[in-house]
Structure 1
């Protein structure tokens, strides 16, 4: 029994250490942003909750630098850099799948014009 409690304690400490690090805070803030978006949605379904949290976490991981630059440009510099990272991760998680859809639309629009042959002028 002691061996099991040691294993659980070790894994628990590892998870807490990861969550208190910078990347853990980014994933957690993004997941909370995704959860908030799901809670505020009109058609709330239980199966959509975990998807929103995962999408928020992944979006926060990859989009928080972009969102951070936009927030800094709009509101000015944050007093503490770690607050800027957490806030931008939360907003990126809140935007979640919408931010991904926007990025895909921009990429498809950019490459769609190249595929279609550009302008109709001869």
Structure 2
């Protein structure tokens, strides 16, 4: 496993753990947690398909690290966003903004990976294009 893949796997584990903790604490809605979980399942399935047929990088590999970092940053801000004052309100606003952007970008990366895996599966068994 390459160093970059180890870091990305670590970020994913931390994101899932943070979402689970925030869900249990009642700080994120269940549907947000479901979107994150579904994204991880789809990304995992695509990675398995990709590894089975090819080991090269996909186009979405450039988007995924930024998306994961942004989602992680947003969740960490939400962890610290306590209180009803102006600072808490501001922290929640920035935390949710970063979390939504990160989740949106990560879904964009998954869709780009799905497109690439579909192309990979459509080409002849021995051929490279």
TM-score, normalized by length of structure 2?
A: 0.28
Q: Specify the structure having the higher radius of gyration (Cα).
A: 1
